[in-house]
Amino acid sequence: MSFMEPFRIKTVEHLPNPTREERLKLLHESGYNPFQVKDKYVTFDLWTDSGTAAMSHHQWAAMLETSEGCISPDSFDTFADTINRLTGFPHILPVHQGRAAEHILFSVLAEPGSTVFSNTMYITGRANAELNGAVVVDVPSQQVEGGDFNGDLDCVRLQEELRRVDVGKSMVVMTLTSNNQAGQPVSMANIKHVSEICKTHDVSLFMDGCRFAENAYFIKTRTKVYRDVSARDIALEMFSHFDGMYMSAKKDGLCNIGGFFATRLSDVYGQFKRRMTYTEGNPSYGGLSSRDLEAVAVGLWEGTDDRYLKYRIEILAMFGDILKKAGVPIVEPVGSAIYINAARCLPHIPTEQYPAWALHCALYIEGGIRCSHVHDVLKVDSTNKREDPQPQHFIRLSIPRRTYTLSHLIHIGDIFKNVLEKRGSISGFCIKNSSGHYFSAVMEPVRKCFVG
C-alpha cells in the first residue's frame, strides 16, 4: 500500500468518547438535533472542513515569532508576498474570513439591477450579493454520472443569460471546488471558456477560491496534459483567467481563521480598501492579528504542496471507497467532501419524515458522528408541511484537514455498516419546533424507539 499521512503527530487531542447511553440522553436533551450537541460530546466532527485543520509546527512557530500591535506589520508583507507568489494578483487585502470579503466585494460591485452568475454560489456569497440588491443566478453544468468536472459552469446558458441582463452591472463568480455541486471540481477548459465569454461581454470574473488548491490537484489528476505540472503552477494558470478572487483561508489555507481578497483591478482594489476599514480594520491586518497573518501565509504554502495535496485527495477517495464497501450510496467521483444520499440509505423513511435527519441522528447514536445536511433542511410553513415537496436528502461528510487518520475513517466506515445493518429500526422524524432554522430545530422521532 503506497498511501500514508505525510506528517507525524506532535500534539494529541483525545477523542471525546461518551457511551451509547450518554449519547442517547444527550441527543434527547438536544431535541434530537445533533447540531445542538456540544462539541465535547462529538467523537468525529465531520460538520465542516472550515477552520478545523490541524496546523503545522511551522505555522505555530511563525505565530510565536511575530510581534503584535504594529500599524504596518512585517507579517502583512509575508502574507501578501505569499499570496502574490501563489496567485499572481498584485493587490492583496486581508479579511477575517471568506464572508467578510464577500460582504465588502458585493458592497462595491453589486447594486439593484446587478446580476451575479455562478456555477453555484455559496450561501453567504448569495446573501451578501442579495443584501446589496443583486440577483444571483446559478448556471451549473448538467451533472454527468461519474464526470470528472461536475463543478463546471454551463457556458451556453451563461451566454444566453448575459444577453438578457444589464452587463454593465453584472459579474461572474466561479466557486472552486463547487461546494453546492457535491464539492466537485471545475476544469481548466471551463475556466478558460467562461473567461473568454466574460471578456467578450466586458463582465468581470472573480473566483471564490477557498478550495482552489484541491481544485488544482483535481485538474492535475483528471486532465492528461497537467499530469506533470505542479498544483501551484496549475493554480497560477487558473488565476491568470480571473480578474480577482476571494478566499476563506479556513479551508485550503489550513488555518482556523483568516481570508483575503486579491485582484488585478486597481479601481476595485481601491474601493475595497476604503470600505474594509469600516468593518474589518486597516488594510494591513483586516481583522486579523499578526499571528493569524503568519499562520495563513505558511498554511497557504503548505496547502498547495503536491505531497500534501496527494495525501488530501487520496484520503478523500479512500474514504469514499470505505463507505461504498460498507454499502453507502455516495456521489462519485468524490470531490472536496463526501456526499451521501440518505434517502437511498433509509428507503423506508418517507420524504416528509426527513430521512437525512434520521440518518444523522442514528450516526450520532451509533458512533458519535456529526455531519452536515445539504438539502434536507427544515423549511416549513404554518401547516408544518415542507416548502419543497420533492427535496433531495443529501448529507455531507467534511473531512477536517490533517486531523483524522485513515484508521479513524476505517472506523467511521464500520459505524456506517452497523447503522445500515439495522436500518429497518431507524425511525423518521417530525418537527416539534422549527424556529426557522435547522440549527435550532427541535425534532421528535415518529416511533418511540428510533434506533435499534
Comparing CB distances to ligand F0G, the nearer of 105 and 451 is: 105
Only segment of 4-12, 67-75, 120-128, 149-157 that touches ligand F0G (CB under 6 A) = 120-128
Only segment of 122-130, 199-207, 296-304, 440-448 that touches ligand F0G (CB under 6 A) = 122-130
Contact status: 208 vs ligand F0G (CB under 6 A): yes
Among 99, 126, 370, 401, the residue binding ligand F0G under the rule CB under 6 A is: 99
User: Which residue lies nearest ligand F0G, judged by its C-beta?
Assistant: 98
Only segment of 34-42, 85-93, 108-116, 121-129 that touches ligand F0G (CB under 6 A) = 121-129
Comparing CB distances to ligand F0G, the nearer of 126 and 423 is: 126
**Letter string b/e over residues 283-309, b meaning 16 or more CB atoms within 10 A of that residue's CB:** bbbbbbbbbbbbbbbbbbbbbbbeebb
Give me the least distance between CB of 47 and ligand F0G, in Å please: 7
Neighbouring residues of 82: CB distance < 8 A, sequence distance ≥ 6: 296, 297, 300, 301
What's the CA gap between 312 and 307, in Å, rounded? 9
* Residues in 36-55 that interact with ligand F0G by CB under 6 A: 48, 50
Contact status: 82 vs ligand F0G (CB under 6 A): no
Comparing CB distances to ligand F0G, the nearer of 97 and 284 is: 97
Give the residue among 351, 356, 346 at the shortest CA–CA distance from 394: 356
And the C-alpha cell for 424?
Answer: 429497518
Among 98, 151, 185, 320, the residue binding ligand F0G under the rule CB under 6 A is: 98
Give me the least distance between CB of 252 and ligand F0G, in Å please: 11
Output the DSSP codes for 332-370: SS--SSEEEEHHHH-TTS-GGG-HHHHHHHHHHHHH-EE
Residue type at 275 in one-letter notation: R
Give me the least distance between CB of 100 and ligand F0G, in Å please: 7
**Letter string b/e over residues 190-206, b meaning 16 or more CB atoms within 10 A of that residue's CB:** bbebbbebbeebebbbb
Comparing CB distances to ligand F0G, the nearer of 158 and 210 is: 210
Contact status: 128 vs ligand F0G (CB under 6 A): no
Check if the beta carbon of residue 329 is closer than 8 Å to that of residue 345. yes
Give the residue among 117, 113, 104, 162 at the shortest CA–CA distance from 134: 113
Comparing CB distances to ligand F0G, the nearer of 75 and 119 is: 119
Check if the beta carbon of residue 135 is closer than 8 Å to that of residue 127. no
Tell me if the bond preceding 43 is cis, omega within 30° of 0. Answer: no
Give me the least distance between CB of 249 and ligand F0G, in Å please: 8
**Letter string b/e over residues 86-124, b meaning 16 or more CB atoms within 10 A of that residue's CB:** bbbbebbbbbbbbbbbbbbbbbbbbeeebbbbbbbbbeb
Number of residues that bind ligand F0G (CB under 6 A): 15
Site map (CB under 6 A) of ligand F0G, residues 213-252, x = contact:
-----------------------------------x-x--
Give the residue among 412, 408, 414 at the shortest CA–CA distance from 371: 412
Contact status: 124 vs ligand F0G (CB under 6 A): yes
Site map (CB under 6 A) of ligand F0G, residues 148-187, x = contact:
---------------------------x---x--------
Comparing CB distances to ligand F0G, the nearer of 126 and 386 is: 126
The residue assigned the cell 489550513 is 254
Q: Which spans of this chain sit near ligand F0G (rule: CB under 6 A)?
A: 48, 50, 97-99, 122, 124-125, 175, 179, 208, 210, 248, 250, 259
